[in-house]
Amino acid sequence: MDRKRSGGGALIDIGSHMIDLIIYCLDDKPKSVSCALRPEGVNAEGEVTATLLLIMTNGCHCSVSASFALQRSTVLQIYGTKGSVAMESIDDPNIEITTVDQGPQRLAFPRRENIYVDLIQEFEWFVLSKGVCRSEASSCMHASSVIDAAYHSANSGGKFFIV
């Protein structure tokens, strides 16, 4: 892995997106994080695998595993007391929703060639028109603070609280 080109290890490159999705889907923020990192050999430029346990302010526990070593796609699974939501990959727009009452249902959405098109177009509109950006910088800043806390946790070997 070339850190100059990748921007970081698995936590920054993959895990950051999963943290964003968790914060968005649960409409809540982590209050603490515990993290373990696994580098690839002694001369690694960044971690190959990052495993996090996030404890949200509402008490929900979320785990994130991000790895360059895994051969399967990124998976997002959220389990609650009345059901679950699962997404196999950001590239695969199918979502499975399971409820206690109705069992599993698979929702299929159209596949996008580039999932970032809407975000790029919004940013372009914002820059050219000097309008109001719908994306909140505060959510990006909070996700960055979670990543920072995860690295502190991995270095100290303990839970790190997010202020």
pLDDT on residue 73: 58
What count of residues does the chain have?
163
**Does the reported pTM lie above 0.75?**
no
pLDDT on residue 74: 63
Summarize the confidence of residues 134-142 as an average pLDDT. 67
Summarize the confidence of residues 21-31 as an average pLDDT. 86
Summarize the confidence of residues 76-103 as an average pLDDT. 82
pLDDT on residue 135: 60
Domain span at 55: 3-161
Q: If 0-12 CB within 10 Å is exposed, 13-18 middle and 19+ buried, where does residue 6 land? A: middle
Query: What is the total count of domains within the chain?
Result: 1
Is 58 strand, coil or helix? Answer: coil
User: CA 140 to CA 151: how far, in whole Å?
Assistant: 17
Q: CATH number of the domain at 26, please.
A: 3.30.360.10
User: CA 150 to CA 152: how far, in whole Å?
Assistant: 5
60-72 tens-digit pLDDT: 888 888 888 776 5
pLDDT on residue 11: 87
